[in-house]
């Protein structure tokens, strides 16, 4: 059995830095993801006067509680999490800041964050990056999200920490709850009742806590998929198995995948476990909008698996993929078509008829890390796949190709 090590969870790494910056005191973070998106968050926080230091043993220590007006534009790079969550924090500060990013981030909509923060009293200028955030005295609001989005929800909740009165967010469908879990870990009272989350502000958070970031589930998903396609079993230890993230596993179970989760426990208020995966005979399924928010980042790799499953897989309700690092519906459809897959692009998803042989081709990653990684996993079983721009994986998973090579040493993947 091949044991592989996955780096720290990207979503939790972002939140540990951002929530740590709001604390009075120091927050020590173990197993922080070392990747481009996280370095963007670190750079932005340092630009706001937050002290972040790396220790000799590789931990990161955040000394928070005091923000200052930045000297220049805060560069969020490729990171949608950075720009959206940081907007929530900046909404309650006493200065103006400009947030920008790379060409991909400049295509991602920010109005969905700007509208609720404006209702709370901030002034957000710009529907796409660069955006200006003019902080202000905030008041709590009740806001029903038009689309399930953990990033928008988190921005509102972080602003709610600085707002006067109760801030309530109502979700149409469950999305990732890492922000709520981490705030609870820091002792912040959170009211959760089904799809409703409330914070009664303002809240001062005390630091002097230690966070261990578990291995990233979304990164693990690529190797879970790989384990279903190759002959030798794979085990990944202490993976984050938060139920708001594991819609992918639920879909795999329906497809007939052979996997099990062992040694379940809580780590810093996040559920983790060891995932063992074996080669499986899969069949197609229907995936609807009710589960998509809990597997939005895993749809590219699930589309790859659907090509190797018997029968038809239909994915609907995933229009959010249109506004990710690339238009992922189009990116997946284009790449799979070049491989010879039978795929139909839908406005909010795709239909894939599996079980047909695939052929090698040159695939464009569109500088989207999850597209590059998904087609790299396909290359475990399809010869001569070349991926343009695959270095984009470094923004979330710099060790991806090293791990892929350790599974199959017959090819050079980097």
Strand partners, 27: 62, 209
CATH code of 77's domain:
3.65.10.10
Q: How far apart are CA 242 and CA 359, in angstroms?
A: 36
pLDDT tens, position by position, 197-208: 999 999 999 878
Residues 103 and 251 in one domain: no
Residue 405 has pLDDT above 60, yes or no: yes
100 is catalytic: no
- The predicted-structure confidence for 329-347, as pLDDT tens digits, reads as follows 999 999 999 999 999 999 9
Rounded CA gap, 17 and 215, in Å? Answer: 16
Range of the domain at 256: 217-407
Q: How many helices (H) and strands (E) does the chain have?
A: 12, 23
**Residue 345, in any domain of the structure:** yes
413, pLDDT greater than 70: no
Please identify which of the residues 177, 216, 297, 368 carries the catalytic annotation: 297
Cα 18 from Cα 169, distance rounded (Å): 19
pLDDT band per the 50, 70, 90 thresholds, residue 408:
confident
**Rounded Cα distance, 87 and 84, in Å:** 5
pLDDT of 83 reads: 98
pLDDT at residue 49 greater than cutoff 70: yes
Render pLDDT for 289-324 as a digit per residue (tens, 0 to 9): 999 999 999 999 999 999 999 999 999 999 999 999
CA pair distance 95, 401, nearest whole angstrom? 42
Find the largest Cα–Cα distance for the chain.
60
Average pLDDT value for residue range 371-399: 95
Element housing 167 (H / E): strand 165-170
Q: 1: pLDDT confidence band, cut at 50, 70 and 90?
A: confident
Which of 92, 97, 77, 103 has the alpha carbon at shortest distance from 14?
Answer: 77
Same-domain pairing of 349 and 240: yes
Taking residues 258-268, report their average pLDDT: 97
- Edge to edge, the sheet with strand 286-287 lists 286-287, 311-315, 349-354, 342-346
Could you tell me if residue 359 is inside a domain? yes
The pLDDT value recorded for residue 91 is: 97
Per-residue pLDDT at 189: 95
Domain boundary among 174, 200, 226: 200
Q: What is the pLDDT of residues 192-233, one digit of tens each?
A: 999 999 999 999 998 789 999 999 999 999 999 999 999 999
In-domain check, residue 205: no
Residues 153 and 13 in one domain: yes
Arithmetic mean of pLDDT, 127-150: 96
Average predicted confidence (pLDDT) for the chain: 95
User: 277 φ, ψ to 5°?
Assistant: -125, 140
The rounded distance, in Å, linking the Cα atoms of 258 and 280 is 6
Q: Tell me whether residue 212 is in a domain.
A: no
In a domain, 145, yes or no: yes
Is residue 209 in some structural domain?
no
The DSSP bridge partners found for residue 60 are 29, 54
Q: Which domain-ending residue is among 200, 228, 245?
A: 200
Co-location of 185 and 222 in the same domain: no
In 3D space, the residue among 381, 395, 379 whose CA is nearest the CA of residue 219 turns out to be: 395
Quote the CA–CA distance of 156 and 176 in Å, as a whole number: 14
Both 32 and 62 in one domain: the answer is: yes
Is the domain of 147 the same as that of 241? no
Q: Which pLDDT score, from 0 to 100, does residue 410 have?
A: 67
The reply to whether 280 and 242 lie within a common domain is yes
- The confidence score (pLDDT) of residue 66 equals 87
Does one domain contain both 228 and 365? yes
The verdict on 152 and 280 lying in the same domain is: no
The string of pLDDT tens digits covering residues 58-72 is 999 999 878 999 999
3-state secondary structure of 142: strand
pLDDT at residue 414 is higher than 60: no
Q: Does 151 share its domain with 233?
A: no
Give the chain's domain count. Answer: 2
Residue 207 lies in a domain: no
- Position 123 pLDDT exceeds 70: yes
Residues 189 and 228 in one domain: no
Beta bridge partners of 353: 312, 342
Give me the pLDDT at residue 411, please: 62
Q: Clarify whether residues 63 and 13 are in a common domain.
A: yes
| Residue 208 included in any domain | no
- Given 172, 200, 228, which residue is the final one in a domain? 200
């Amino acid at each position: 059995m091949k044991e592989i090590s996955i780096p720290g969870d990207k979503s939790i790494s972002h939140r540990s830095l951002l929530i740590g910056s709001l604390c009075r005191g120091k927050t020590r973070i173990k197993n922080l993801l070392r990747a481009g998106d996280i370095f963007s968050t670190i750079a932005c926080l340092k630009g706001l006067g937050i002290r972040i230091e790396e220790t000799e043993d590789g931990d990161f220590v955040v000394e928070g509680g005091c923000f200052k007006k930045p000297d220049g534009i805060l560069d969020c790079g490729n990171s949608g999490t950075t720009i959206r969550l940081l907007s929530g924090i900046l909404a309650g500060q006493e200065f103006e800041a400009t947030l920008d990013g790379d060409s991909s981030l400049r295509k991602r909509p920010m109005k969905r964050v700007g509208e609720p923060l404006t209702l709370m009293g901030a002034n957000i200028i710009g529907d796409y990056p660069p955006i200006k955030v003019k902080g202000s005295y905030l008041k709590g609001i009740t806001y029903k999200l038009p689309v399930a989005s953990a990033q928008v929800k988190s921005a509102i909740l972080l602003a709610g920490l600085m707002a006067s009165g109760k801030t309530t967010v109502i979700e149409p469908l469950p999305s990732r709850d890492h922000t709520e879990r981490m705030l609870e870990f820091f002792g912040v009272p959170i009211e959760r009742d089904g799809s409703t989350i409330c914070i009664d502000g303002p809240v001062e958070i005390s630091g002097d806590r230690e966070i261990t970031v578990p291995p990233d589930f979304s990164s693990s998903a690529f190797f879970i998929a790989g384990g279903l396609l190759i002959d030798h079993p794979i085990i990944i230890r202490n993976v984050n198995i938060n139920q708001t993230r594991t819609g992918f596993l639920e879909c795999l179970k329906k497809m007939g995948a052979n996997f099990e989760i062992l040694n379940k426990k809580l780590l810093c208020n996040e559920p983790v476990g060891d995932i063992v995966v074996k080669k499986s005979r899969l069949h197609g399924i229907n995936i609807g909008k009710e589960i998509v928010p809990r597997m939005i980042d895993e749809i590219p790799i699930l589309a790859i698996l659907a090509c190797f499953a018997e029968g038809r897989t239909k994915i609907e309700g995933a229009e959010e993929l249109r506004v990710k690092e690339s238009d992922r519906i189009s990116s997946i459809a284009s790449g799979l078509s070049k491989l010879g897959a039978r795929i139909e692009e839908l406005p909010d998803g795709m239909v894939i008829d599996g079980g047909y042989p695939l052929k090698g081709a040159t695939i464009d990653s569109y500088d989207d890390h999850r597209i590059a990684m998904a087609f790299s996993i396909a290359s475990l079983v399809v010869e001569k796949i070349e991926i343009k721009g695959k270095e984009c994986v470094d923004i979330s998973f710099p060790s991806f190709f090293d791990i892929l090579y350790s599974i199959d040493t017959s090819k050079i993947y980097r």
